[in-house]
Amino acid sequence: MAKSKPKTKKTPIKKVRTFSFKLSSQQKLVLGSLLIILGFWLFIAFISYCFTGNEDQSAISSFPSRTSETQNWVSQVGAWFGELFIHRGFGIASFIFSGLIFLSGVYTLMNINKAKLRKHWFWGILIIIWLSILFGFFGNTKDILGGTIGFEINSLLQDYIGKIGVSLLLAFGLITYLAMRFKVTFESITNIFKSAKKDIKDELSNMKEDVVVPFDNNLSEEAEAIKSAFEIPLENKETEPKKTIKPKLEPAPLEVKIPEPEIEKEPELEIKVEEVKEEKSETDNLADKLVEDFGQFDPTLELAKYQFPTLDLLKKYDTEGITINQEELEENKNRIVDTLNNYKIGISSIKATIGPTVTLYEIVPDAGIRISKIKNLEDDIALSLSALGIRIIAPIPGKGTIGIEVPNKNSTIVSMRSVIASKKFQASEMQLPIALGKTISNETFVVDLAKMPHLLMAGATGQGKSVGLNAVLTSLLYKKHPAEVKFVLVDPKKVELTLFNKIERHYLAKLPDSEDAIITDNTKVINTLNSLCIEMDNRYELLKNAFCRNIAEYNVKFKARKLNPNDGHQFLPYIVLVVDEFADLIMTAGKEVETPIARLAQLARAIGIHLIIATQRPSVNVITGIIKANFPARIAFRVTSKIDSRTILDGSGADQLIGRGDMLYTQGNDLIRVQCAFVDTPEVEKITDFIGSQKAYPEAYLLPEYVGEESGTSLDIDISDRDKLFKDAAIVIVTAQQGSASLLQRKLKLGYNRAGRLIDQLEAAGIVGPFEGSKARQVLVPDLTALDKLLQDELL
């Protein structure tokens, strides 16, 4: 079917002529200081009048007379102004006048927005009148409290509506003022009470938690214990090795480095609204005014009360924290040294860093030893240590040492809770932060999916891929509001991602006509992928029209109200496509899947669509060259052969991992060994239940409808066969004078199919012109009257 791309028509912004005169900087300085001084002078005159006004009455009545003497601190003119403003005017509320004049001076001097100053004056004068009536209400005479105006208005009002009427009127005035000036609403008042209640509750529960298990302290105590356990035997280490090693090749003492656990508090999760820097320019007046009146656009407003999942939904594990005994450490060291000695390789120093699953022994060989010689001994060292998963890194990039990674006898679990609670994750400013786990030096490993920009995950069955995917999704759920990110989940295994069904209306995206948001049927994947390609094209069109290079810039502009929603602009959430078993897809759909995936991978980074693809079978016919080229970020869990490792990582290493979440991560250069964070199904269930029980959007985020090849319409459409929305569509098209299907999609909330059919019917009716390639169709009816006439003629 002919596809016409959305085209934004620029509606000219009518410039309102305002009378303005421009002051030079010098003039601003003069005028500003004059107003500041005047304001200050009036303030002194008013204060003084409050004390000396009575005594100065005779002088005021003979004003201006050079001979009369006044008590006012700023003399005759001061006394006269005091009389005019305070006694004959608005009473002590007149002080606000002096304040307003002073403020005007400051604004002029500092060249601050005039619109704000006008607002201050408007509200200032209203409050002066209100105060003067309020004070007049209590005064019996024309005293300085309410002034003559306050008193007179009061007596006038009291004659008509009585004292009760006036007090009610004053109360009404106050409510109106608060509502209009400070945007106070009934809801905001109740919210204040609610949040105060919640704060108290949270405070109480925090106190409780602190008393039960002090999570952080636990860790540090544990670390201290391990440290002290190592300290003593290492002092005496000289004696033992001497028995086994020839004096000539005796290695340097083993330095042990126990990574300090990150001491971090479990912070409260808050909705973080990105603060956006405003770009001030003269042409952005309209946007500035909109922002001033309504504030920045807040995409989270529709679900303003959405609560992020709390940390207590995630489990604490008993086996967390480093556990390695000193004996094991010494034993491993001796074996490494022995093995190397057998091959005449001397070591000048050796150091151990203990991680959650493996310990890294860093050795510095004696001068003149070839690195390749050590690298070739990988199998021999593995044999002597009788351990799986030995990996030799020769040399460690940037360190000048050789690393030997040896698995710990008792590996520890890295809980999702500990990585989510880490400061690194909580404080991260990344666009799509993902807490993957902990590195060998026990640091939390956080990466930005938006920077990757796509991720390929591979590993043999049962090695931790699904847990890894859940860790990625959980990280995003803990950091991103439903308005900011949407997931497209493809789960051919049908069971792995089902739990996320509960958050369909919060976080998932789907095709308009599909029932389930999670795609388990391979044939539907093709439509979804192609639909994502259409979404990508639409987004590029929007970015082009908005002169933005990427989604982040676009959203900043949209939030600053610089993009008109009537031109089709809207806040764009990130879209993360997750495919749990890619091999299965490629086997059944082949090229049909590979092409859109490759297209998305090549182009989608700038417009916020990111792909995560997991596969059990990392063979070359699944991870083809074109896929590999576009997925620089890769995660390898344990695989069974060196060839598979090479397919994923372009090198060996993945075949030497020990499984259960032990993984290698690369983003194009170095390989980083990470222990993946563990998040169990019950934890995911709790999180999705927590989110699912909250208010959601009416439906999942709708992707554009994909029109398959078989579709197509003829133009001689019968009037009786017309779509029910035909007339509405005609009105939309004629009003906007833009013949595009995507305009109908947006305005009438339709799928692409239906909007396309409507455009064809409009063409048959002579309302829009024929398809013109990438341009929008021409609209042949100039206005709504002509449209009415055309439709009526048709019926005759």
Ligand X SMILES: Nc1ncnc2c1ncn2[C@@H]1O[C@H](COP(=O)(O)OP(=O)(O)OP(=O)(O)O)[C@@H](O)[C@H]1O
Q: C-beta of 679: minimal distance to ligand X in Å?
A: 8
Angle formed by the axes of helices 114-138 and 95-110, to 10°? 170
How far apart are alpha carbons 496 and 484 in whole angstroms? 24
Q: C-beta of 677: minimal distance to ligand X in Å?
A: 6
SS3 421: helix
The tokens of 646 are what? Answer: 């090479």
The amino acid present at 605, given as its one-letter code, is R
Binding residues for ligand X (CB under 6 A)? 413, 459, 461-467, 616, 660-661, 676, 678
What is the separation of C-alpha 379 from the centre of its chain, rounded to a whole number of angstroms?
A: 47
Closest CB to ligand X among residues 39, 468? 468
How far apart are alpha carbons 603 and 610 in whole angstroms? 10
The tokens of 165 are what? Answer: 């009427």
Q: What is the DSSP letter of 250?
A: P
SS3 634: strand
Angle formed by the axes of helices 582-589 and 591-603, to 10°? 130
Closest CB to ligand X among residues 431, 444? 444
Q: C-beta of 443: minimal distance to ligand X in Å?
A: 16
Identify the bridge partners of residue 608 per DSSP, sorted by sequence position. Answer: none
Closest CB to ligand X among residues 559, 660? 660
Q: C-beta of 753: minimal distance to ligand X in Å?
A: 36
Q: Is 252 annotated as a binding residue?
A: no
8 Å CB contact between 362 and 397: no
How far apart are alpha carbons 450 and 610 in whole angstroms? 7
Going by their DSSP bridges, the two strands 509-510 and 701-702 should be labelled as parallel
Q: C-beta of 319: minimal distance to ligand X in Å?
A: 9
Q: Is 464 annotated as a binding residue?
A: yes
Rounded alpha-carbon distances, angstroms, from residue 75 to 41, 59, 71, 651: 11, 10, 7, 92
**Residue of minimal Cβ distance to ligand X:** 661
Closest CB to ligand X among residues 254, 455? 455
Closest CB to ligand X among residues 497, 776? 497
Closest CB to ligand X among residues 467, 648? 467
Q: What is the DSSP letter of 519?
A: B
Identify the bridge partners of residue 612 per DSSP, sorted by sequence position. Answer: 455, 578
Q: C-beta of 500: minimal distance to ligand X in Å?
A: 15
Identify the bridge partners of residue 610 per DSSP, sorted by sequence position. Answer: 576
Closest CB to ligand X among residues 341, 466? 466
- What residues contact 124, with CB distance under 8 A and at least 6 apart? 96, 97, 99, 100
The b-or-e profile of 621-655 (16+ CB within 10 A means b, else e) is: ebbeeebbebbbbbbbbbbeeeebbbbbbeebbbb
- Please spell the DSSP secondary structure of 120-162, one letter per residue: HHHHHHHHHHHHHHHHHHH-SSS-TTTHHHHHHHHHHHHHHHH
Q: C-beta of 416: minimal distance to ligand X in Å?
A: 9
Closest CB to ligand X among residues 352, 416? 416
Q: Is 357 annotated as a binding residue?
A: no
Q: C-beta of 610: minimal distance to ligand X in Å?
A: 20
Q: C-beta of 654: minimal distance to ligand X in Å?
A: 13
Closest CB to ligand X among residues 489, 767? 489
User: Residue 601: is it exposed, middle or buried by C-beta count within 10 angstroms (0-12/13-18/19+)?
Assistant: buried
Rounded alpha-carbon distances, angstroms, from residue 648 to 234, 581, 615, 660: 41, 15, 10, 18
The b-or-e profile of 396-434 (16+ CB within 10 A means b, else e) is: eeeeebbbbbbbbeebbbbbbbbbbbbeebbebeebbbb
**Residue carrying structure tokens 């005014």:** 289
SS3 551: helix
How far apart are alpha carbons 184 and 178 in whole angstroms? 6
Q: Is 606 annotated as a binding residue?
A: no
Closest CB to ligand X among residues 299, 459? 459
Closest CB to ligand X among residues 502, 660? 660
Q: C-beta of 459: minimal distance to ligand X in Å?
A: 5
Rounded alpha-carbon distances, angstroms, from residue 397 to 137, 351, 394: 82, 16, 8
Which strand (E) or helix (H) includes residue 403? strand 402-407
Q: Is 462 annotated as a binding residue?
A: yes
8 Å CB contact between 234 and 256: yes
How far apart are alpha carbons 232 and 235 in whole angstroms? 6
Q: C-beta of 675: minimal distance to ligand X in Å?
A: 6
Going by their DSSP bridges, the two strands 574-579 and 609-615 should be labelled as parallel
Closest CB to ligand X among residues 658, 732? 658
Q: C-beta of 111: minimal distance to ligand X in Å?
A: 58
Q: Is 479 annotated as a binding residue?
A: no
Q: C-beta of 458: minimal distance to ligand X in Å?
A: 9
Q: C-beta of 395: minimal distance to ligand X in Å?
A: 28
Closest CB to ligand X among residues 494, 549? 494
Q: C-beta of 392: minimal distance to ligand X in Å?
A: 24
Closest CB to ligand X among residues 158, 323? 323
8 Å CB contact between 427 and 446: no
Nearest alpha carbon to residue 678 among 661, 654, 663, 690: 661
Angle formed by the axes of helices 326-342 and 215-235, to 10°? 50
How far apart are alpha carbons 600 and 610 in whole angstroms? 8
Closest CB to ligand X among residues 605, 660? 660
Residues marked as binding for ATP? 459-466
Residues marked as binding? 459-466
